[in-house]
Amino acid sequence: MGRRPGVPWERANRPYDRPAESVIVLRSEVAPPPAAIQYRKADIVNGTPGTRTRVRGLALVIAMAMVVLTFGAATAGAAPQAKKKGTPVLIVVGDTAGTKAPMTMTVAPTSVPAGKVTFTVKNEGTVIHEMVVLKTKTPYTLLPVVRNKVSESTAVGEVADIGKGKTKSGTMTLKAGSYVLVCNLSKHYGLGMRAAFTVT
Ligand SMILES: [Cu+2]
Single-letter residue type at 168? K
Number of structural domains in the chain: 2
Residues 166 and 178 in one domain: yes
Residues 51 and 147 in one domain: no
* Cis before 88? omega within 30: no
Q: What is the 82 CA–ligand 1 centroid distance (Å)?
A: 30
Cα distance between residue 143 and residue 196, in whole Å? 11
Q: What is the 122 CA–ligand 1 centroid distance (Å)?
A: 11
Residues 69 and 92 in one domain: no
State the residue range of the domain holding 58.
Answer: 1-83
pTM over 0.75? The answer is no
Q: Are 128 and 164 in contact (CB under 8 A)?
A: yes
Q: What is the 115 CA–ligand 1 centroid distance (Å)?
A: 26
Q: What is the 177 CA–ligand 1 centroid distance (Å)?
A: 24
Q: What is the 168 CA–ligand 1 centroid distance (Å)?
A: 14
Residues 6 and 62 in one domain: yes
pLDDT in tens, the chain (200 residues): 444 555 555 554 555 554 445 444 444 455 555 554 444 444 444 444 444 445 565 565 555 555 444 444 444 444 444 458 999 999 999 999 999 999 999 999 999 999 999 999 999 999 999 999 999 999 999 999 999 999 999 999 999 999 999 999 999 999 999 999 999 999 999 999 999 999 99
Residues 44 and 108 in one domain: no
The last residue of one of the domains, among 28, 48, 83, is 83
Q: What is the 127 CA–ligand 1 centroid distance (Å)?
A: 8
The last residue of one of the domains, among 83, 118, 144, is 83
Q: For the domain that residue 153 is a member of, what is the CATH number? A: 2.60.40.420
Q: What is the 184 CA–ligand 1 centroid distance (Å)?
A: 7
Residues 6+ apart with CB under 8 A from 104: 92, 93, 94, 95, 192, 193
Residues 195 and 163 in one domain: yes
The last residue of one of the domains, among 66, 83, 100, is 83
Residues 131 and 175 in one domain: yes
